[in-house]
Amino acid sequence: MKYQSQAVAKYYFIAAIALFVGQILFGLIMGLQYVMGDFLFPEIPFNVARMVHTNLLIVWLLFGFMGSAYYLVPEEAETELFSPKLALIMFWVFLAAGVLTILGYLMVPYATLADITGNSLLPTMGREFLEQPTITKIGIVVVALAFLFNIGMTALKGRKTVITLVLLIGLLGLAVFFLFSFYNPINLVKDKFYWWWVVHLWVEGVWELILGAILAFVLIKTTGVDREVIEKWLYIIIAMSLITGIIGTGHHYYWIGTPRYWQWWGSIFSAMEPIPFFMMTIFAFNMVNQRRRNHPNQAAVLWALGTSVMAFLGAGVWGFMHTLAPVNYYTHGTQITAAHGHLAFFGAYVMIVLTMISYAMPMLRGREAANSNKSQVVEMWSFWLMTVSMVFITLFLTGAGIAQVYLQRYSDTPQAFMVVQEKLATFYWMREVAGVVFLIGLITYISSFFVGGKEAEEIA
């Protein structure tokens, strides 16, 4: 750690991991409710478990992005953080807002939560992923602005690098597009149309800039490859992300009451969305092959390579599978979507945050450059347990999805939704087993922070 103020990142990373655990526990509850419909009913209905699962994911990834920025920007800018104090205050504000919101979901019926937080004054609640009370949304905006100010001022007073710039554009886009969560017209078509300006333009737009910037940073640090080379790759990757991804939003506009021309725009551009992810894979492996040093933190290199592959599979391949309009006509809103969502979020965003934590945490905890060999071995075990089990979750959901599409949508005698769901029980049970393995992987991951702490680092 070159700059004292980078230490604030540690708070963000620890909170991220803690919330990650909560996310997985609720994922397992939901998985069980898929096959044991009355599990925890009516105390924790499925929709509550689901909003806890997805909102915890979003919040912990945001903690991860912010922690990454607080670590990365001072080092890139070669200066102390503009205000470590502001970063710490915002940490506690964001954590309190996040925890209170989750507790609100769990302790009172959602309608009561909407009532006591004054949702009728500015109704924004009750939409997928944007379930947070309006007051929480305003809190998110405040935290994001303070964060951008802090990071922006740090970048301005120091060295300006492409990585910082790309990260800042990504984070600024994240804040700007979130503002569309406050626009909630009665017209269901318009509501859906602009809802995607938050959801799609985040995960298939500006978040890819954040992903690219963090990946580029870790690769520079761990491979020692010339910055010029890495920055050129970064520019061309994010160029392809936005060139394909912005119009690619059209793949959500096939069946929601919008004009037919979106079937062409959406199909053509979203079919190209795997390109930047494929380039990212080539990029990561090339840089590691051309490395000028062997960094002692081999776990971080594994995460970096892993995220480049899994993002391509989850976001790229599994996205492409159902993105063309004639295919999507049958797969829209089935378990195929759930399969894609799981592998894409894990491969692209979970793994990039874990890459950064893996790289930065040893230094944040006072080590020279890396954890001991013993700790890294445990961490690599957790990498494989989580990655392989997530691949299996995805495969089982894909199997369920294909069967669902056939039975409910494609066969000559389409069957009712609930009838079909019962026939998919085997797939759902196997998914739940894979989910338990994922939890074991996560426990292994956390335990890697507590083993081999006193042992020396490997000299690379």
Partner 1 sequence: MSQTFTKSMARNIFYGGSLFFFLLFIALSVDTSEAIPKQNAKAIITPQVAMGKRIWEDNDCIGCHTILGEGAYFAPELGNVYKRFGNSTDAIKAFIKSRPKNGIPGRRSMPQFNFNEKQLSAIAAFLKYASEIDTNGWPPNIQG
Please choose, out of 80-88, 247-255, 310-318, 343-351, the segment that lies near partner 1 by the rule CB under 8 A: 247-255
Exactly one of 409, 423, 457, 458 binds partner 1 (CB under 8 A); which one? 409
Please choose, out of 21-29, 119-127, 346-354, 363-371, the segment that lies near partner 1 by the rule CB under 8 A: 119-127
- Binding status of residue 246 toward partner 1 by CB under 8 A: yes
Exactly one of 247, 309, 327, 440 binds partner 1 (CB under 8 A); which one? 247
Which of the residues 12 through 71 are near partner 1 (CB under 8 A)? 33-34, 36-38, 41-42, 45-48, 50-51
Q: Rank residues 99 and 176 by Cβ distance to partner 1 and give the closer one.
A: 176
CB of 194 to partner 1, least distance (A): 9
Exactly one of 100, 106, 231, 458 binds partner 1 (CB under 8 A); which one? 231
Which of the residues 414 through 433 are near partner 1 (CB under 8 A)? 414-418, 421
Binding characters for partner 1, 210-229, by CB under 8 A (x = yes): ------------------xx
Which of the residues 300 through 359 are near partner 1 (CB under 8 A)? 329-330, 332-335, 337-338
| Residue whose token pair is 């599990």 | 39
Spatial contact of 183 and 130, defined as CB atoms under 8 Å apart: no
Q: Rank residues 1 and 130 by Cβ distance to partner 1 and give the closer one.
A: 130
Please choose, out of 86-94, 253-261, 313-321, 355-363, the segment that lies near partner 1 by the rule CB under 8 A: 253-261
Binding characters for partner 1, 166-195, by CB under 8 A (x = yes): ------------------x-xxxxx-xx--
CB of 92 to partner 1, least distance (A): 28
Can you tell me the distance from the alpha carbon of 399 to that of 435, in angstroms, rounded to the nearest whole number?
16
